[in-house]
Structure 1
Amino acid sequence: MNRIFFRFFVLVMLSITAATFVIYFAFSRLFGDPLDDIARRQAAAQIFLLEQYVDQAPPDDWLTRLNNVREVSDVRYDLIPLGEARAALSAGRRAVLDRGGIVLDPAGRSFYRRVDLEGERYIGSHEEVLRAQNLPIDIDQALKREALRYIIVAVALLVPIALWSRSHWQGLQALSRVADEFGSGKLTARAQMKPSAAVYPLAERINHMADRIEHLLEAQKSLLHSVSHELRTPIARLEFALELLDARAKDPDLGKRIRAMEGDLHELNALVGELLDMSKLDSARNLQAEPTALAPLLRECTRMLPPSPHSLDCAVPDDLGEPELDRRLLARAVCNLLRNAQKYAGSRIELSAARNGNAIEIAVDDDGPGIPEDEREKIFDPFYRLDRSRDRATGGFGLGLSIARKAVALHGGTLRAESSALGGARFVITLPA
């Protein structure tokens, strides 16, 4: 958000600077160099004295009056050859000098003017130029005044722009906070603004959108909970009926079919449980974070696994610290990854962890068939399984990895799939330390 207004401020400053140069060049082209105009105003007294006192003298008294001025003035007046004066001036200024005009040199604090064009002042006067030096010209002071004018104009523009931008910035900051709260799972977050606020129409649309999303999510959760709980009632009845039927069955084939049906019911019951767990991971409000010793928690996860013929190596150091986390949710995520490794590993599974700067990385490796690179993001989608020909006893429901990623995301971390050095898949959990 600050970047937007910083760029806007820089754009305004560049625009004011560009306008300053445009004004300078436009005025120079239309009305002459502004510096010459400033210098002419500062040397106005000397120019007036030359034109109204010296030039008004009779032809034979022109030099006398010029000498009188030399005696009483701090300005130095010299008569120099026309060629020398023309050599000291640029082409444009030489043309003005040739016409008999006054040519100012602000940098040299001087001006040039031909004595006359016809030689009427004295013999040879048409070949001489009057040069006045040490004029009271101070361009630096004039430039400071001009700069001060532009600064005042810039401030006069920037102050209302800053006030206008500040109101927009505050409104956008408020909307940003609402978006963060809503994105973190606080579905009741809304933008509270006065109708006079500049971003009020945008806030109203965001509030309408949030209302719609909240209603949809609440309806989805309600439907999921209702369906899940309604399913558990007939499942319980079927389990009870199958137990009674199994106790009375004497035919071995019938008993085998009953046990297969019981397996299907247990699978359906497990699916309902995982769906309910998924619905609980949609909001950070379900996170109960507290300082937790991470190393003992990871070692405990290895003891929570079902029996397996695979060897499990646990390379977890003791210096992982005690980050803020929900012990139950993180354990669920790690156990899901370990159970997934048990399903697909050939003979070896490895659980490792390490601190990496301001993060903690937890990795689960196996020596199974691995995961194709183009499938490594899809496997975290609910109900997605790599081998759709597998039965659910091997492939599961496709919810374990999705639950693990959601649990890690609630802690502000990430879960990704990579290739393992063991030859199979590698799942890496990255948590803020």
Structure 2
Amino acid sequence: MVLAIPVLGLLHLDQYRMSLINSELAALQTQADTLASALGTAAVRDGADGKQELIPDTARQLLRVGLSTTGARARVFGRDGTLVADSSLLAGPLGQVQVVELPPPDHTPSYLIWIEDLYRTIRQLLEGKRQLPLYIEVPEQTAASYEEAASALQGEHASRIRADSTGRLFLSVAVPVQRYRQVVAALMLTKDGSSVDKAVQDRRRDVLLVFGVALGVTILLSLYLARTIATPIRRLADAADRVRGTSGRSENIPDWSNRKDEIGDLSGALREMTQALHARMEAIEGFAADVAHEIKNPLTSLRSAVETVARVEDPDQQKKLMGIIVDDVQRLDRLISDISDASRLDAELARGTSEEVDLKRLLEALVEVQRAGIEAGGPSYRLEIDPREDLRVEGIEGRLGQVFRNLIANATSFSPPRGTIHLAARRERGRGRNDDTIVVTVADEGPGIPPDKLDDIFDRFYSERPKGEKFGTHSGLGLSISRQIVEAHGGVIYAENRSEGGARFTVTLPAG
């Protein structure tokens, strides 16, 4: 677009040139009318036959005086078409001498001449073979040699635009010289178009200068943009291709995060993406290793029991081994179900549609279900919620319900007989409305958690169960899944021991 501006300027030069030519022709026409009027007054006399006659000597003198400063050439053709006077011819002792004005020396630099010649050639190719009439001066000039002079002898005003063999422009106008409405002669003024060509040439040089500046600026901007935008983007793209074929570490991505622009943002985003990718790959590898380890234990026990039961003939021993087989099969089924649920969790959280979840209503429903299933000697449940509090959050209700069911189930399993499970929910005010959080706690009166295991209990397949509980009842994925769900909702979950005994789990979620 920048380069199109001077190109449009070059296209405008033809119109500019024609406007200059028309101005020159108008000025030349004014001079011709003035000079023809002077000739008709001072250089014409009455003839013997009553016709008006032109006085050649007087006409020549008037031409020299009238055109001394105009730079135009005047020629007067008699009624019969012969050349009577020519301002370029001076009388001398040896006859007439023709005066030819030489052009001024051309100091144009060679490179500009080459550019202008190239432009002229291109313009001629684009315009086709449109040529001006050729200007020729024959040795014996008559009015018939010039169409405009012949028209002037017929009493008409005429003008012509011609060019010589070198391309030099010539402008001419012809007017009749009259006295008493008789056409005595024809006056033709001719002027070369050097002033027009020079004006157009100066304008073309200005346009070429603008074009050169625009081209230079465009090249510099292109180099600058290539260095600051295109090259970094290409390097980031190459680095992304390398990451695809390697371990995915962010060290392979150039670090331009110090740049305060979109390239810096892109570099930082790619590095964070590769870090997340690498962490996810490590998590998948670790999860696969943990799954293989956890499944191997019941499979080993199951294989041993199956191999042994085929060799044992004692019915009591066979019954005991069959019980072990059933327990191991149930343990495998429970483990595989929990593993399947954990593996689908990320995809479900990513695809799930968030909605407004009222934690007050959700916790009340969960407590009512637990109270309805209390067995003799089992714990009681106490829920502390201010009915005036707004406890709504944005999330997936089914998964949030799974978190609190897991916490309540853990608290129930560790609670002593006739103990109490304490549930509470409150809204904590932040600096702004959007900074409020909902805090939910689930506490029991059990033995608590070893201080060095408060964070380990959220690891996959970690199991710290009450004494006397049947082995393999839990897979050790409940708290790990709970943390994954809470963090996907932008919250935090952690465990602590109560000073009065027992453990407390706290879930903090952004308020809706």
Q: TM above 0.5, one fold?
A: no
Alignment TM-score, normalising by the size of structure 1: 0.43
The structure with more radius of gyration: 2
* Larger helix percent: 1
